[in-house]
């Protein structure tokens, strides 16, 4: 069963969250659905998941270093930004939300986020106190005002031992939201 109606080019951003391991399931699901998935990992994400895992599951090279681009004349992050049908960031840390809200481009993922004109869909995952902090909430409002869509985090037992909101939404929910985002822009 395919989740999407037509093949799309999806950039899957993965950030420094314990939920980064769930990006493997998401990359696999989207790839099996017939889409081209390119994973872009922040330096912090590399502490939680290996590029090789995502490369094998997505069947595409993984980007983790803005300055490691050596192929062709066009910067790889700009080419990815131009070709993307969707930028999906799952999991998204508080750090990436702040960086995007303030227009930082200090790594491949934030550079792609600034350069792309594709829809952006974000699935946050973090400690509940971080998610409900005024700074994070202001960053979410700012990003939403720019047209960024969000999949709210789920409630439950968090990796830090607290109970509350902050868990990455279920992978199937994220994939369904990606479907909606892709079909709305076609």
pLDDT confidence of residue 156: 73
What pLDDT does residue 157 have? 64
183 is a domain residue: no
pLDDT in tens, 114-165: 999 999 999 999 998 899 999 999 999 999 999 999 999 987 766 666 676 7
For 22-33, the pLDDT digits (tens) are 999 999 999 998
Averaged pLDDT for residues 107-112: 95
**Is residue 185 one of the residues assigned to a domain?**
no
Residue 16 has pLDDT above 80, yes or no: yes
pLDDT at 78: 83
**Does residue 28 lie within any of the structural domains?**
yes
Within a domain: residue 128?
Answer: yes
* d(C-alpha 26, C-alpha 107), whole Å: 22
Question: If pLDDT is split at 50, 70 and 90, which confidence band does 79 have?
Answer: confident
Look up the domain containing 66 and give its range. 14-166
Q: How many CB atoms are located within 10 Å of the residue 43 CB?
A: 15
CA-based R_g, the chain, Å: 15
Per-residue pLDDT, 5: 44
The per-residue pLDDT for range 30-76, each reduced to its tens digit, is 999 889 999 999 999 999 999 999 999 999 999 988 776 555 545 56
pLDDT at residue 166, rounded to an integer = 80
On whether residue 4 sits in a domain, the answer given is no
* Across 2-11, average pLDDT: 67
From the list 3, 8, 57, the residue with the least C-alpha distance to 36 is: 8
Q: Is 7 inside a domain boundary?
A: no
How sure is the predictor about 172, in pLDDT bands with cuts at 50, 70 and 90?
very high
pLDDT at 11: 97
pLDDT, residue 22, reads: 96
User: What is the number of structural domains in the chain?
Assistant: 1
pLDDT beyond 60 at 177: yes
In a domain, 133, yes or no: yes
What CATH number should be reported for the domain holding residue 152?
3.40.50.1950
Adjacent-strand bridge partners of 13: 40, 89
The answer, yes or no, to whether the previous bond of 118 is cis (omega within 30 of 0) is no
Catalytic positions, written as ranges = 160
**Mean pLDDT, residues 104-115:** 95
Q: Is 69 exposed, middle or buried (0-12, 13-18, 19+ CB in 10 A)?
A: middle
24 domain residue, yes or no: yes
pTM of the model: 0.91
C-alpha 24/C-alpha 28 separation (Å) is: 6
């Amino acid at each position: 069963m395919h989740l999407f109606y037509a093949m799309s080019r999806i950039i899957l951003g993965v950030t420094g969250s314990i939920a980064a391991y769930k990006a493997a399931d998401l990359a696999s699901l989207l790839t099996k659905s017939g889409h081209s998935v390119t994973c872009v990992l922040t330096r912090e994400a590399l502490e939680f998941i290996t590029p090789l895992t995502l490369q094998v599951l997505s069947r595409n090279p993984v980007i983790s270093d803005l300055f490691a681009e050596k192929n062709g004349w066009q910067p790889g992050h700009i080419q990815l930004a131009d070709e993307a049908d969707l930028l999906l960031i799952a999991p998204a840390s508080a750090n990436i939300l702040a960086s995007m809200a303030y227009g930082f481009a200090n790594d491949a993922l934030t550079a792609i986020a600034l350069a792309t004109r594709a829809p952006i869909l974000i699935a946050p995952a973090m400690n509940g106190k971080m998610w409900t902090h005024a700074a994070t909430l202001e960053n979410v409002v700012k990003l939403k005002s720019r047209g960024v869509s969000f999949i709210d985090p789920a409630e439950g037992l968090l990796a830090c031992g607290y109970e509350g909101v902050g868990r990455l939404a279920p992978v199937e929910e994220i994939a369904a939201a990606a479907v909606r985002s892709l079909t709305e822009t076609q």
